[in-house]
Amino acid sequence: MGNEKIKYKGQEIIENLDSILKSDHFHFELKGLTKPTRDIINEVVQRILDRVGANPLTSFHLFSGLMEALLNAVKGNIRFVIFQDELLSKLKGAGQTPEEEAEELLNTILQTEPLRDAMQRYIVPDKIKKTVQKILTLTDKRKSKKQLTENDLEFLDLVREKVKKYDLRISLKIEIRPTTLYIRIRNDSPIMGMDLSRIQKSRGRHAELAKEGKSAEFFRPDFLDEKESAGFGIAMIDEGFYNLALDPLDCFDIQTSKHATSVYLNYPIDALQRMEF
Ligand SMILES: Nc1ncnc2c1ncn2[C@@H]1O[C@H](COP(=O)(O)OP(=O)(O)OP(=O)(O)O)[C@@H](O)[C@H]1O
Ligand SMILES: [Mg+2]
């Protein structure tokens, strides 16, 4: 198979879309989720949906779910870089630990789940959240050629260097299978701490509301305060499935390990072709 694979970058994907779409398997490597990247993914998804004869009304739900999952992957990686970096500087700053030992200690901490989760307490989540948001905003600004200050540019370069150092990637796989459209999003950072169990609990609550035919009530403000970081992103993906009359607990799965998080989205093709929702 190896030498049959052709690699395209950015706009080349759009230019070669007709021949790319002859295959049933697509594999993308993403660096971020700036406007040009979102546009390319949108075009690819639209064409795939056309190919499988999907009802055009499905594309909104599918595309927004995919964007939420990709955004989580992008944020997850950036957050993990900042987390490791802060931890490393704390280990070094703590005194006697020389550079190499600090790196080793960091690795041990990252490999040992209870330790890693304990360390989360020393890294202020709010600070990380703000930094991630700042990085995303500045990257978008730079992509759309808006003027950035010297300081911001330096900051972005530093971040880029770190992301490179930790070599964290994001991949998007799409396969047209005989009865389903299969999508896998994978990023090289774990879902940390109690987040996964919180996510599962919150998805369960959303499912209960859906059973009563009122899944959208999940987004009412009185549900908000309970959710901490089991936030709206994943709930939005679930809601997309509910809107397609599909059960997200069957179609959408999240798996995480020490090194990576994978999100699986399965859309039965006959459900995409349905004419009424
Ligand atoms: N692909 C991923 N990699 C790493 N962590 C993830 C990933 N997806 C979700 N998470 C974790 O699960 C939490 C819940 O995700 P969700 O998208 O539902 O919430 P959110 O409110 O959108 O949060 P965020 O704005 O941080 O994405 C995130 O805050 C993050 O900590
Ligand atoms: Mg999110």
| First CA to last CA distance, the chain | 40
pTM: 0.88
Q: What is the mean pLDDT of residues 96-102?
A: 76
Q: Give me the residue label for tokens 């789940």.
A: 113
Query: Considering Cα of 211, then 216, then 49, then 255, what sign does the dihedral take?
Result: negative
Answer yes or no: is 5 within a domain: no
Q: Report the pLDDT value the prediction gives residue 224, as an integer from 0 to 100.
A: 63
Residues 6+ apart with CB under 8 A from 167: 188
More confident residue, 40 or 125: 40
Strands 25-30 and 180-187, bridge-based pairing: unpaired
Which residue's CA is the closest to the ligand 1 atom numbered 21?
A: 231
User: What does the alpha-carbon distance between residue 47 and residue 88 come to, in Å, rounded to a whole number?
Assistant: 45
How large a percentage of the chain has pLDDT more than 70? 92
Token digits for 128? 């990380």
Which amino acid type is present at position 160? R
Lowest mean pLDDT among 135-144, 209-218, 221-230, 260-269: 221-230
Ligand 1, atom nearest to 227 Cα:
21
Q: For the segment 154-190, what is each residue's pLDDT rounded down to a tens digit?
A: 999 888 888 888 888 999 999 999 999 999 999 999 9
Q: Which ligand is nearest to the Cα of residue 191, counting in written order?
A: 1
Q: Which ligand is nearest to the Cα of residue 195, counting in written order?
A: 1
User: What's the domain count of the chain?
Assistant: 1
Pocket test for ligand 1, best of 191, 218, 228 (most atoms within 8 A of CB): 191
Q: Which ligand is nearest to the Cα of residue 219, counting in written order?
A: 1
- Rg over alpha carbons for the chain, rounded to the nearest Å, is 20
Query: Considering Cα of 148, then 134, then 186, then 242, what sign does the dihedral take?
Result: negative
Burial of 147 (0-12, 13-18, 19+ CB in 10 A): exposed
Answer yes or no: is 266 within a domain: yes
Answer yes or no: is 21 within a domain: yes
User: Among 203, 192, 195, 178, which residue's Cα sits nearest to residue 270?
Assistant: 178
Q: Which residues pair with 30 in a beta bridge?
A: 170
Strand (E) or helix (H) holding 84: helix 58-93
Q: What is the mean pLDDT of residues 113-128?
A: 74
Answer yes or no: is 1 within a domain: no
Answer yes or no: is 191 within a domain: yes
Phi, psi for 94 (deg, rounded to 5): -65, -10
What angle do helix axes 125-143 and 58-93 make, rounded to 10 degrees? 120
pLDDT reading at 4 higher than 90: no
- Residue 255: alpha-carbon gap to chain centroid: 12
Answer yes or no: is 3 within a domain: no
User: Which band of pLDDT confidence, cut at 50, 70 and 90, is reported for residue 2?
Assistant: very low
Q: Which domain holds residue 199?
A: 10-277
Answer yes or no: is 95 within a domain: yes
Q: Is the CB of 76 under 6 A from ligand 1?
A: yes
Q: Measured at the alpha carbon of residue 105, what is the angle toward residues 103 and 111, in degrees to the nearest 5? A: 105
Answer yes or no: is 179 within a domain: yes
Q: Is the CB of 195 under 6 A from ligand 1?
A: yes
Q: What is the mean pLDDT of residues 256-261?
A: 92
Ligand 1, atom nearest to 187 Cα:
1
Between the CA of 25 and the centroid of ligand 2 the distance, in Å, is 26
User: Among 32, 228, 3, 11, which residue's Cα sits nearest to residue 129?
Assistant: 228
Q: Report the pLDDT value the prediction gives residue 229, as an integer from 0 to 100.
A: 53
Q: Is the CB of 261 under 6 A from ligand 1?
A: yes
Between the CA of 32 and the centroid of ligand 1 the distance, in Å, is 16
What's 74's domain CATH number? 3.30.565.10
Which residue's CA is the closest to the ligand 1 atom numbered 11?
A: 191
